[in-house]
Amino acid sequence: MNVRQLSKLIGIACLMFTSQVAGQDKNDYSNHRKKMIENQIVSRGVTDENVISVMSEIPRHLFIEESQWPIAYSDGPLPIGHGQTISQPYIVAFMTELLQPDTHHVVLEIGTGSGYQAAVLAKLVHHVFTIEIVSELGRSARKTLKRLGYENVSVRVGDGYKGWPKEAPFDRIILTAAPEEVPKALVDQLKPGGRMVLPVGPRWWGQDLLVIEKDLTGEVIEKKTLPVRFVPMVHEKERKN
């Protein structure tokens, strides 16, 4: 083989390699997901194998706008419109682990947003009921979840402070927006033996992530875990003003 033939061969090989890598980056974010799991989730101490496994599979980028896909797996929250955000991957993993989900559980989520947290839970439990106060977000999350084949998630547009009395009581309740105080109506909708994970505190600063456990006699115990910063859980009347 002469030098010209060899350089042509190398050229073809390079072209095949780059087009394969480019193809992978464009349509398949599995490498991004793998790095997210290693560098953001496992390295910070999340150990629940089921949480790690579902977050390794779920295409987080498909829950946000296409222009943001390249940063879908970055280490922070991202805007989803209407002044709201999809939570940081680590926070989703940490809260899901704290919730201790099981395959027979019925879960209530307040703050559907993009639908990503609901999707993570849907892979781990029997059914997820999720409430979103911004109708455009609720409708769009419902569409995304349907398109991706999630059949065990029910999305409702409404005020999360009221919970979902018709489907209560719930084995688990998770809030992804922060009320200033623990909403009593939601604690009432928690099953004895149930568990609730929620951020609580003033708007934008000084919030704590709480775990609330209700024992079999109905007694409630509250524990603080991390300091956090979530979007506020708003009241219906504020949205109408």
In whole angstroms, the minimum distance from the beta carbon of 2 to ligand SAH comes to 59
For residues 202 and 179, is the Cβ–Cβ distance under 8 A? no
Residues within the interface to ligand SAH (CB under 6 A): 84-87, 110-111, 113-114, 116-117, 131-134, 137, 159-161, 176-177, 231, 233-234
Closer to ligand SAH by CB, 115 or 219: give it: 115
Name the minimum Å distance from CB 131 to ligand SAH: 5
CB 41 within 8 A of CB 89: yes
Are the C-beta atoms of 176 and 107 separated by less than 8 Å?
Answer: no
What residues are labeled active site? 87
Between residues 113 and 194, which has the closer beta carbon with respect to ligand SAH? 113
Q: Which is nearer to ligand SAH, 1 or 83 (CB)?
A: 83
Radius of gyration of the chain (CA): 21
Q: Return the number of the residue (8 or 29) whose C-beta is nearest ligand SAH.
A: 29
H helix intervals, 28-152: 30-36, 49-57, 89-99, 116-122, 135-147
CB neighbours (10 Å) of residue 233? 22
Strand order in the sheet with 190-200: 153-157, 127-132, 106-110, 170-175, 190-200, 207-214, 220-228
CB of residue 115 to ligand SAH, shortest distance in Å = 6
| Shortest Å, Cβ 122 to ligand SAH | 12
